[in-house]
Chain A
Amino acid sequence: MSDENDDLILSELDDEELVAQMMDDLYDGLKDEIAEGVNILLGRGWAPYRVLTEPLVGGMTIVGRDFRDGILFVPEVLLAAGAMKGGMSILKPLLAETGAPTIGRMVIGTVKGDIHDIGQNLVTMMMEGAGFEVKNIGINNPVESYLEACEEFNADILGMSALLTTTMPYMKVVIDTMKEKGIREDYIVLVGGAPLNEEFGRAIGADAYCRDAAVAVETAKDFIARKHNSRVAG
């Protein structure tokens, strides 16, 4: 609006203003500004985990909400997720050093017979944008590939994607195999893909159906929080 807005200096903002500004910058997908903000907060002695959760995850929550509500669309969300990832790359080694809790770990892939991967690639970008560690195992996965990847990666969440009505039923094969092996309850199972719906998710025994990538992120956070709570309670 006025000229003074043009020379806003991030380092001159107090913590509260800076966090709010970073959330705006994240919304606008400003990668360099996010990296700068992360470094300023770290320089002020903020714990890496707090930098991750307050401005970054907090900011992405707003992005996710507006995506869910049809205000933002994939291009804007990808830019925001890219900015978030830039901030994450600074925080990642520090988080590992300080032994901070991870947000969550996910294995994702399209089911056997399905070669349509754009949806799960979007979910991967947005989950990473929200601070999750994601192993994307690509297309056409038989049940063995899912289970091996989950074990190797020490996943909390298994995500399965299908675009074709003919391949959706394979999700049930994977879940049934997990039940047989007695490992179903070790993982949060999320399913998604254009032709699916909640009814289908319930019918095959998934924890949740996620309508789009933003819902996937919200649902994943929700389930991880419940898992942590039950661990504390247990």
Chain B
Amino acid sequence: MTDLLSRLLSERDWLLTDGATGTNLFNMGLEAGDPPEFWNVDYPDRIRALYKGAVDAGSDLFLTNSFGGNASRLKLHQAEDRARELSRISAELGREVADAAGRPVVVAGSVGPTGEIMAPMGTLTHEIAVEMFHEQAEGLKEGGADVLWLETISAPEEYKAAAEAFALAGMPWCGTMSFDTAGRTMMGMTSEAMVAMVETLDHPPIAFGANCGVGASDLLRTVLGFTAQGTARPVVAKGNAGIPKYEDGHIHYDGTPELMAEYAILARDSGAKIIGGCCGTMPEHLRAMRNALETRPAGERPTLEMITGALGGFSSASDGTGDDHVAPDRPRRRRRK
């Protein structure tokens, strides 16, 4: 049986995902410091409203409210024993909204990072990471998620652990990393290296890509890095609505709906097939993105100059790929074995 996402991917040139979860929930009154996953039980109507906001704005796929729903993150709120339950309920609510949409909408069970540094640098072992991801995956599966959706990952080891866990749960999945450090992930992975890693997995994702990071321009440079490798696997682009700005005691993202519409078009022209937003992306942004994707013709593959011209500059000169990235010569002394 083919999963819904694979079917839609075979029928359509592009799919629109949802936008921000956190930004929307804070607007509904989530207090900073409180785990959003508790709301699946405490305020299910607000979570339904979050999902419905994306569906009504034209999203073909939305992520469940379970990003921090692994035992490691929930432990910070003394709720490590609720990982499976909170994940399951996030997907059940998603199922209700998707099934009432009147068109096929994919419920993607969100799985965020553990927040731990993996061994040997840190303390999280591969086995425990797999166990935590597996527990969450089973919950999302029980709740009726169509696919699992790993996001905001920095360490390739953590990505691999999740892939293994999702195989144990027998679930199709997508997985994106955050490229926020000089064009690489915090742990140093380039877009190019991610393409290679994904193809080595025993249980590879349906689609892979980038989310969050540093604004829409950087994210598109990463997407160009993926597609330059000639990968046949669908690419996901889920960028932030611009850069957060601090004004008069509060924060807002500077990406307007018009800018995010430009971003969506450029993402498609860069070769991304699954396109959406991340932090700061609200239903009005999604509507503008949907409208642009539906009404504007596909264009040529953008250059870096076209991206910065439309969306603003990059945060770093290079993204660590290609021949232009040459480490300075650091003469080494003799090395011992």
Q: Are B336 and A194 in contact (CB under 8 A)?
A: no
Q: Which residues of B have CB within 8 Å of A200?
A: 246
* CB interface residues, A 127-148, toward B, < 8 Å: 139-140
- Asked if A165 is at the interface (CB within 8 A of a chain B CB), the reply is yes
One of B68, B76, B115, B244 near A195 (C-beta < 8 A):
B244
- Asked if B121 is at the interface (CB within 8 A of a chain A CB), the reply is yes
Chain A minimum-CB-distance residue to B328: A71
Measured in the bound complex, the distance between the Cα atoms of B280 and A118 in whole Å is 22
The number of A-B residue pairs with CB atoms under 8 Å apart is: 105
A75/B333 contact (C-beta < 8 A), A112-B32, A113-B32, A115-B76 known: no
Number of interface residues of A (CB under 8 A): 49
Contact count band on B:
35 or more
A139/B244 contact (C-beta < 8 A), A74-B188, A79-B121, A114-B33 known: no
Q: Are A203 and B33 in contact (CB under 8 A)?
A: no
Most buried by B among A28, A166, A199, A212: A166
Q: Which residues of B have CB within 8 Å of A118?
A: 115-117
Q: Which residues of A have CB within 8 Å of B337?
A: 6
* CB interface residues, A 50-109, toward B, < 8 Å: 66, 69-76, 78-79, 82
Q: Are A70 and B181 in contact (CB under 8 A)?
A: yes
- Asked if B312 is at the interface (CB within 8 A of a chain A CB), the reply is no
Measured in the bound complex, the distance between the Cα atoms of B327 and A76 in whole Å is 15
- Footprint of B on A, CB under 8 Å? 5-8, 17, 20-21, 24, 28, 33, 66, 69-76, 78-79, 82, 112-118, 121-122, 139-140, 164-170, 172, 194-195, 197, 199-200, 203-204, 212
Q: Are A168 and B33 in contact (CB under 8 A)?
A: no
Chain A minimum-CB-distance residue to B77: A115
Q: Are B250 and A169 in contact (CB under 8 A)?
A: yes
Q: Are B251 and A165 in contact (CB under 8 A)?
A: yes
Chain B minimum-CB-distance residue to A5: B334
12 more A-B contacts (CB under 8 A) besides A20-B333, A24-B332, A71-B328?
Answer: A5-B335, A17-B333, A66-B330, A69-B328, A70-B320, A74-B154, A78-B121, A82-B121, A117-B115, A140-B33, A169-B250, A199-B246
Q: Which residues of B have CB within 8 Å of A139?
A: 76
Chain B minimum-CB-distance residue to A79: B121
Measured in the bound complex, the distance between the Cα atoms of B244 and A116 in whole Å is 17
* Cβ contacts B184-197/A at 8 Å (1 or 0 each): 10111000000000
Measured in the bound complex, the distance between the Cα atoms of B6 and A178 in whole Å is 56
- Asked if B26 is at the interface (CB within 8 A of a chain A CB), the reply is yes
